A and B are shown apart, each in its own frame.
Chain A
């Protein structure tokens, strides 16, 4: 299973499914990360975490540990 964590910087991926549950999953969806949406991986912070992505036209930063819950292709 490929997750957002493994996606390369500068690439665009498509969300297949959200794993995890409760507050985390709900929060990911509230921020616009849902099945089928496009995510562009912009960059990673100087210390290697978190990552910055573009989703639904805005910039969002999230930790790699949370990005792991997002299955992409």
Chain B
């Protein structure tokens, strides 16, 4: 018979490493039903046991989605056994979850992890004694060094086959009296095996249990009151205190701590500098600057740093695809003497389109590598700690910064990184706004517009990042006023794990996982949209094939662009339908904007050739160029990122709302930029045939921009309609 084993434990207890060690490569990743939390399952190597990785949690409370998922799985799905992974270097807090797991009555084995660290510290833990006091098997392991894995699997098999429930840890007489009463009230309403778990939760004033069994709650109400009076505290505190007191006793019995170095551990000493009151922020800025300059680079006039990532990406685009793949495919297509529509679809539609996206892979992988290292050594948590104050002011938390940083590489894993934020509201707002930060694919667009209207000005790129961050913060304030995103923010409490050297396996696996997620998108949704877009640009509205490239002025896409370009006229795009078409193709991948212009203006490759910028300078003034750039950076991201947003938001309706919000905001910002900056000297002129032509002041746009600004200001400063439902105002 195949047995189901759950793997449960605190965040940072080495659960992921343990899961990988137990299952090897044999794992599947999905989502828990109804919530977007990773559900990993796999077969334990050498057995037919199915291992289910529960999300990292501190308790079986019903507050965060992670806790609810874990609790429902243990209580309702009843796995055959639980492996409770416990961080031996942080025994007290880890055992708090253990005590609740033991209450569920499921056969349990404790994997006492990080024993190598314990030895290094010189501490001693009496494993046998711990096992006796907890009433379940305890196996000392080190997931990182693969120590004790065999013993763990054997112990789990034995416990699961026997099916013997662990002995719960009983509380003192007064509490147990109330628990017995609760058991009586719940008898027959819940399965006998979970009777104690539910009874204790009822006494603990657990909201989920009370809601499920209101009669039982009434039955024990008096007893709970009596207990509270007797102990002079709230019932929830009484149970938590009782658990922790018990834990303190056990740990005191089994653990002997070696004296610590007076100066603190190495981690303490590093932390003293990294989160220093004065140096903390400069160090943060320095670290980020090094990562960015090293990977993306920076240019200011003649001064230029070429990032490693940019260098690799250029190579893949220009040499790998430009000189090898595309010519080879073209040659192969033309081998039969013709170049049919199918050949064109393959060459420019699929290879050209998907290739443009894959070209960003090296840059992205390097960015992920850098961020994975920062995460693995424990610096990401410190970034959240140092910067929380800034984000809290805008109703977000410091943890929002992590998706934003990942998003600078690519929006897809950036949106996915929002998953680490506990607060549902913050998580959704972050998933909706992460793509405001310019990702790697947006850089060529920034470079192109800069080259056209502000040649050699590195500040434009800086402006783009600053604008992205500001819009995320502003959105935090605006969006929380919506009904679906209102609600009390959950408390920001974050463990700061000790620093350690990066583990090569974790870093490489993390980098490749994120890169792979991106490749999968490129292979599916991007491929499909490339085909559709190729069709739209290669056929006339009468469905006549016109061949690809320069002739696309007659295409369906051009017709569509011409029809809708009136919408963008207030942004100063004039009647240049090419700009609209470029924006639409940007939905596939943002750098497509550049490629599309190349095609439409009939300019041969070499992404930022002078010809292209010259044509753009005759269409866009400095102001409208900036407005065009802003719109393209903020509006709906590429299809791949929209797909990632959908994964996090859950419903297509919410995803559509999020995209609509992004587009509206993009339009508003572009309008404000064009409406106001056109009056700056020299910002409202086109360059036609080498001569500067001053344009008429956009009075209409300016009036509209004032109105939009007023609306934005209202949204920002209007009273939060849901605030008084919670928080201080309700108390007064």
Our verdict on whether A and B bind, yes or no, reads yes
- The reply on A47 being an interface residue by CB < 8 A is yes
Residue A30 contacts which of B59, B387, B388 (CB distance < 8 angstroms)? B59
Chain A: which residue is nearest B58 at the CB level?
A: A30
A48 engages B389 (CB within 8 Å) = yes
Q: B241 to A32, Cβ gap below 8 A?
A: no
- Tell me which residues across on chain B come within 8 A of A27, comparing CB atoms: 58, 61, 63, 490-491, 493
In the bound complex, residues from chain A placing their C-beta under 8 Å from that of B245 are 36
Identify which of B389, B488, B493 contacts A47 (C-beta below 8 A).
Answer: B389
Q: What is the bound-complex CA distance between A44 and B272, given in angstroms?
A: 11
Please state if B494 and A30 are interface contacts (CB–CB under 8 Å): no
The chain B residues found within 8 Å of chain A, CB to CB, are 58-59, 61, 63, 89-93, 96, 207, 233, 236-237, 240-241, 244-245, 271-272, 275-278, 280-281, 385-390, 392, 488, 490-498
A1 within 8 A of B: no
Contacts A30-B58, A46-B280, A49-B389 supplied; 10 other A-B pairs, CB < 8 Å:
A18-B237, A28-B491, A34-B240, A34-B244, A37-B244, A60-B493, A61-B493, A63-B388, A63-B491, A66-B493
Q: Which of B89, B272, B494 has the most CB of A within 10 A?
A: B494
A2 within 8 A of B: no
A52 to B491, CA, bound (A): 15
Residue numbers in B under 8 Å from A66 (CB-CB):
491-493
Q: Is the interface of B mostly helix, strand, loop or mixed?
A: helix
Asked if residues B392 and A49 are in contact (CB atoms below 8 Å), the reply is yes
Majority-rule SS of A interface residues: mixed
Other-chain contact of B493, A36, A43, A62 (Cβ < 8 Å): A62
**Residues of chain A lying within 8 A (CB to CB) of residue B276:** 46
Q: Are B388 and A26 in contact (CB under 8 A)?
A: no
CB-CB contacts below 8 Å: A1-40 with B: 17-18, 22-32, 34-37
For residue B726, give the distance in angstroms from its CB to the closest CB of chain A: 10
* Nearest 10 Cβ contacts at the A-B interface: A47-B389, A30-B59, A29-B240, A46-B280, A59-B496, A56-B92, A30-B58, A32-B93, A23-B63, A34-B244
The answer to whether A29 and B493 touch (CB under 8 A), given A44-B277, A49-B392, A52-B385, is no
Contact yes or no, B496 A52, CB < 8 A:
yes
Q: A35-B241, A52-B496, A56-B93 are in contact. Are A26 and B236 (CB under 8 A)?
A: yes
How far apart sit A56 and B497, CA to CA, in the bound complex (Å)?
A: 13
Partner of A60, one of B387, B390, B496: B496
Contacts of A24 in B (CB 8 A): 490-491
- A26-B236, A63-B392 known; A43 vs B241 contact (CB < 8 Å): no
Instruction: Give the contact-size bracket for chain A.
Output: 35 or more
In the complex, what distance in Å separates the CA atom of A61 from the CA atom of B495? 6
Q: List 19 A-B contacts (CB under 8 A).
A: A17-B233, A23-B63, A23-B488, A23-B490, A25-B237, A27-B61, A28-B491, A30-B58, A32-B244, A36-B245, A43-B272, A45-B389, A50-B385, A52-B496, A57-B89, A60-B493, A62-B491, A62-B494, A66-B492
How far is it, in angstroms, between the C-alpha of A57 and the C-alpha of B255 when the chains are bound? Answer: 13
Complex partner residue of B237 from A29, A46, A63, CB under 8 angstroms:
A29
B271 CB contacts on chain A under 8 angstroms? 59
Q: Are B280 and A45 in contact (CB under 8 A)?
A: yes
The residues of A that contact B498 with a CB separation of less than 8 Å are 59
Chain B residues positioned under 8 Å from A46 (CB to CB):
275-278, 280-281, 386
Contacts of B277 in A (CB 8 A): 43-44, 46
Report chain A residues within 8 Å CB of B496.
52, 59-61
The closest CB in chain A to the CB of B232 belongs to A17
- Contact call A60/B92, Cβ cutoff below 8 A: no
B725–chain A nearest beta-carbon distance, Å: 13
CA distance A58 to B61 in the complex (A): 21
Q: In the bound complex, do residue B388 and residue A34 qualify as a contact, i.e. CB atoms below 8 Å apart? A: no
* B495 surroundings in chain A (CB, below 8 A): 31, 58-61
